[in-house]
A = this chain, B = another copy of it.
Amino acid sequence: MRWPVVTYITGILLFALGLSMLLPVVCSVFYGDGVLSALIVSALFTTISGAVAILLCRDASFDNITQREGMAIVAVGWTVVGLYGALPFYVSGYFPHFVDAFFESVSGFTTTGSSVLTNIEAVPKGLLFWRSLIQWLGGMGIIVLSLAILPFLGVGGMQLYKAEVPSPVPDKLKPRLSETASLLWKVYALISLVEVVLLLFGGMDLFDSLCHTFTTMPTGGFSTLNTSVAGFDSTYIDVVIIVFMVLAGINFSLHYQMLRGKSLAFWEDPECRWFLLIVLGLSVIVTFDIYGSVYDSLPDALRYGTFQVVSIITTTGYATADYELWPGLSQVLIFLCMFIGASAGSTGGGMKVVRVMLCLKYCYRELYMMIHPRAVATIKLGGKAVSEDVMRSIIGFIAIYIGLFALCSVLLAAMGVDFVTAFTAVGSCIGNIGPGFGMVGPAENFALIPQAGKWLLIWCMLLGRLEIYTVIIFLVPEFWRK
């Protein structure tokens, strides 16, 4: 393991992070909100840390980066960025303990959106702007991670996307990585811009439009209001956000294809087709479940039902209603959505639709082979055979995901958290959703989780966001051998 390479790249990330802190600085100056010095101190410290790391390791060799080094870069990079991103929160004094600031920052960069804030509206605008911006940056990171890095690290079946990465430079890793990143980021920025305009059009001010776009596109879910998107109480805004949450839950290489004129790209992709059908199906079921029992008018049931379903399955986590007050069926479906999640290659979390699809096909094949024991049955996705290695990798991913979900629920419960909260807080954090049930329902927050539990949930957020393998691998003794 060549740590200088890891340090060098982390340094670049920190340098860029420090520069990006100038945006909330501008915001703070504009609103005169009193956190200017905290932001400047954080920006300076972060930029300088980055510069020092770069200078110290400027001779690092980038030849033949190994899988092991790739995973270290991903895990260390995200964690360190999370640490430095917490500085504005901590230095400003609005977060009582460092773990709270760190929790909020990692919840931002992993686009989880779980918050420890009890009164968001009392927080200065500069900090709220930073809180939204880090989700947007986290989303940029995750697109590149899932479409340009993980396919080549062979993580959890992401090998499937090796061929589908949009790239004008076909071969060498370094130029392809940066070209791919810049293409995808343009797409991401373009869609974000459209959302800002549409939200402004709906009567939001520029600050709220930017902040909510910064947290919709990465399926992040932080809001600037205590009541989340419900606070705007506008059907138009709800609809705009529903549409952009769905877009954010779709593989960004499909957006790229779409923009290049392939108008059926969404429908031709099997995962996207399933994702859209699941969203549609669940929205209809939940709408009829809450119609009559919660809402007297069908349009209301449709509006709130669809919003909550889309918000959870895309793993955004905004709320316009408290689903904990809904009937059992809606609650069970919403809970299960936390595990399915959005598409691979999107900014959404969870296990991802493609993995759930392939797992169902795996189960069906098992039954098929009970009936035809001598058959050789290959699993196909969109007409193409999926290799047994990739299948094993995907099934292993799901098993490890569920296993860690169970283990972390036990640990959180051991810290004094109740049954429902333990399971749903962990499920929500591993899936990068935001809210759960019980103590961490959509109308509550993570402030009352014990400190040790916050550390655990920080780890869960990173675990889920970095596709499990890249984080858990560090706990395998075999990794450190030789």
Taking Cβ atoms with an 8 Å cutoff, the residues of A that contact B are: 67-68, 154-155, 289, 327-329, 331-333, 335-336, 359-360, 362-368, 370-373, 392-393, 395-400, 402-403, 406, 409-410, 413-414, 416-423, 437, 469, 472-473, 476, 478-479
Contact = CB atoms under 8 A, between A and B. Distances in A.
Secondary structure call for the A interface: helix
Chain B CB within 10 Å — which of A68, A332, A399 has the most?
A332
A366 B400 contact: yes
Contact of A413 (B328, B397, B403): B328
Nearest to A389: B369
A396 B366 contact: yes
A399 B332 contact: no
Contacts of A155: 370
A41 to B, nearest CB: 40
B476 A371 contact: yes
A476 to B, nearest CB: 5
A422 B392 CA distance: 31
Nearest to A396: B366
A410 B473 CA distance: 34
Contact of A371 (B364, B366, B368, B478): B478
Copies in the complex: 2
B399 A363 contact: yes
A324 B328 CA distance: 19
Contacts of A363: 396, 399-400, 403
Contacts of A336: 406, 410
Given A366-B392, A403-B360, A437 B419 contact: yes
A373 B328 contact: no
Contacts of A400: 363, 366-367
A395 B369 CA distance: 14
B399 A362 contact: yes
A472 B373 CA distance: 16
B409 A332 contact: yes
Contacts of A437: 419
Given A331-B413, A406-B336, A419-B335, A399 B359 contact: yes
A133 to B, nearest CB: 33
Contacts of A373: 67, 154
A388 to B, nearest CB: 9
B332 A473 contact: no
A479 B369 CA distance: 10
A370 B154 contact: yes
Contacts of A406: 336
Contacts of A332: 409-410, 413, 419, 422-423
Contacts of A476: 364, 367-368, 371
Contacts of A410: 329, 332-333, 336
Contacts of A416: 327-328
Contacts of A362: 396, 399
A416 B332 CA distance: 11
A417 B289 CA distance: 13
Given A332-B410, A366-B400, A372-B478, 9 more contacts: A67-B370, A67-B373, A327-B416, A328-B416, A328-B422, A332-B419, A359-B399, A366-B396, A395-B395
Contacts of A371: 68, 473, 476, 478-479
B335 A367 contact: no
Chain B CB within 10 Å — which of A413, A417, A469, A472 has the most?
A413
A395 B366 CA distance: 9
Ranked 6 nearest A-B pairs via Cβ: A366-B396, A328-B413, A332-B413, A329-B413, A331-B419, A328-B418
B473 A367 contact: yes
A67 B336 CA distance: 35
Contacts of A328: 413, 416-419, 421-422
Chain B CB within 10 Å — which of A67, A393, A410 has the most?
A410
A455 to B, nearest CB: 17
Contacts of A365: 396
A359 B362 CA distance: 15
Nearest to A482: B371
Contacts of A289: 414
A389 to B, nearest CB: 9
A421 B327 CA distance: 12
Contacts of A399: 359, 362-363, 366, 395, 398
Nearest to A392: B366
9 contacts: A68-B371, A327-B416, A332-B410, A332-B422, A359-B403, A366-B397, A367-B473, A367-B476, A395-B399
